[in-house]
């Protein structure tokens, strides 16, 4: 659907496109938005020639496959994935063609970036000014310095999937279509959340790149692994471990494998079973051992224990309590 410039202060709507640009009455209370758009392209004939924006552009691929050329690098996004270009980064469709597919995008006001660009093909690179976004900085508050500097310093235009991005874009589009109470506040909250999540994803991607070049496990990863070993009964998940380490799930999983030889899930299971074996050795009941080690129920614990140890928890406790019983040195596969 097309959400064009107002005629008699009413939006003009066409079938397959929605576009709102600065100057539309719709954006009077949202000065940080330069453009918001949502369009379906039915063929690959739509042209997208080299250009740049004086703002931060975030694109979401909803269907199809979009290939950009950003400062000479090809970037491909598939359904559910995002890309980002910073102010004055030259970009275009591959072979200057766009689509077919369904694309949603937003351009947020910012002046300049640390990225150099060329004024014309073959021309020398021009140094662009540092990222300056006073409106966004004011709206982001205390987090503005980290968010904006992370976006400016990132070396990639590809973001991949970003949690909640689709819902946030949907919320913005839905609010801009209708004049609802507190609309500006809802839209502002949505694009600021989107911007913050994009900055997080960029930081994660930079960390993943650094990880590939380093063999030393970060202290924060080791601290989380030690915490899991000391307190396996907590409601840990792979995601919560990664969040405590301040890393994305992919990066944390790789570091965990390097440090332990196991995935986070298997490492957690190993620590819980070790705790349970210790409790059984101390004559705890099966239920006590299961709950103290963090298993959801004694039934779940018993089934897991038997599957991986080849004996029930009761049989294990009886065996190690006998004079010639031996402790199990079992460890799960990586």
- Please report, for the chain, the start and end positions of each structural domain, with discontinuous segments joined by +: 17-211, 215-334
Identify the CA nearest to 270 among candidates 248, 297, 254, 294. 294
pLDDT at 45 (0 to 100): 62
pLDDT over 90, % of the chain = 45
pLDDT for the residue numbered 37? 92
- Asked if pLDDT for residue 128 goes beyond 70, the answer is no
Asked whether residue 180 carries a pLDDT value surpassing 60, the answer given is yes
pLDDT band at 156 (very low <50, low <70, confident <90, very high): confident
Compute the distance between CA of residue 333 and CA of residue 308 in angstroms, rounded to an integer: 10
Length of the chain: 334
Cα gap 224→255, rounded to integer Å: 11
**CATH topology match: 17-211 vs 215-334:** no
d(CA 68, CA 122): 19
Q: How far apart are CA 292 and CA 39, in angstroms?
A: 54
The C-alpha atoms of residue 222 and residue 256 are separated, in whole angstroms, by: 8
Mean pLDDT within 180-192: 94
State pTM to two decimals: 0.62
Q: Residue 275 has what pLDDT?
A: 94
The pLDDT of 70-97, averaged and rounded, is 90
Q: Rounded distance, CA 46 to CA 308, Å? A: 57
Question: CA 20 to CA 332: how far, in whole Å?
Answer: 55
Report the alpha-carbon distance of residue 304 to residue 318 in Å, rounded: 18
Level-2 CATH architecture, domain 17-211: Sandwich (2.60)
Q: Is 188 helix (H, G, I), strand (E, B) or coil?
A: helix
Q: What is the pLDDT of residue 4?
A: 35
Residue for token pair 């989380």: 224
Q: Who has greater pLDDT, 52 or 234?
A: 234
215-334 maps to which CATH number?
A: 1.10.10.60
């Amino acid at each position: 659907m097309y959400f064009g410039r107002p005629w008699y202060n009413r939006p003009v709507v066409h079938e397959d496109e929605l576009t709102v640009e600065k100057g539309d009455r719709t954006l009077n209370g949202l000065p940080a938005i330069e453009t918001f758009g949502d369009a379906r392209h039915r063929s690959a004939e739509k042209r997208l020639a080299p250009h740049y924006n004086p703002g931060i552009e975030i694109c979401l691929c909803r269907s199809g496959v979009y290939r950009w050329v950003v400062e000479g690098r090809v970037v491909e996004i598939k359904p559910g994935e995002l890309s980002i270009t910073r102010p004055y980064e030259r970009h275009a469709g591959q072979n200057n063609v766009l689509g077919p597919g369904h694309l949603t995008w937003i351009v947020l006001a910012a002046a300049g970036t640390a990225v150099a660009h060329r004024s014309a093909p073959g021309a020398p690179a021009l140094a662009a000014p540092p990222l300056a976004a006073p409106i966004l900085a004011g709206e982001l508050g205390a987090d503005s310095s980290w968010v904006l500097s992370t976006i400016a310093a990132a070396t990639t235009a590809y973001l991949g999937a970003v949690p909640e991005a689709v819902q946030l874009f949907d919320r913005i589009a839905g609010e801009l279509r209708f004049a609802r109470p507190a609309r500006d506040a809802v839209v502002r909250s949505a694009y600021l959340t989107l911007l913050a999540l994009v900055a997080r994803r960029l930081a994660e991607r930079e960390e993943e790149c650094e990880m590939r070049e380093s063999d030393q496990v970060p202290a924060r990863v080791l601290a989380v692994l030690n915490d899991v070993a000391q307190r396996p009964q907590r409601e840990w998940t792979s995601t919560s471990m990664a969040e405590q380490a301040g890393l994305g799930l992919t990066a944390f999983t790789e570091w965990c494998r390097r440090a332990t030889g196991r995935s986070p899930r298997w490492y957690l299971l190993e620590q819980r079973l070790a705790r349970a074996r210790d409790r059984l050795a101390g004559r705890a009941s099966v239920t006590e051992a299961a709950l103290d080690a963090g298993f959801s129920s004694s039934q779940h614990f018993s089934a897991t224990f038997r599957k991986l140890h080849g004996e029930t928890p009761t049989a294990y406790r009886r065996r190690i309590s006998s004079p010639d019983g031996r402790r199990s040195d079992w460890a799960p596969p990586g």
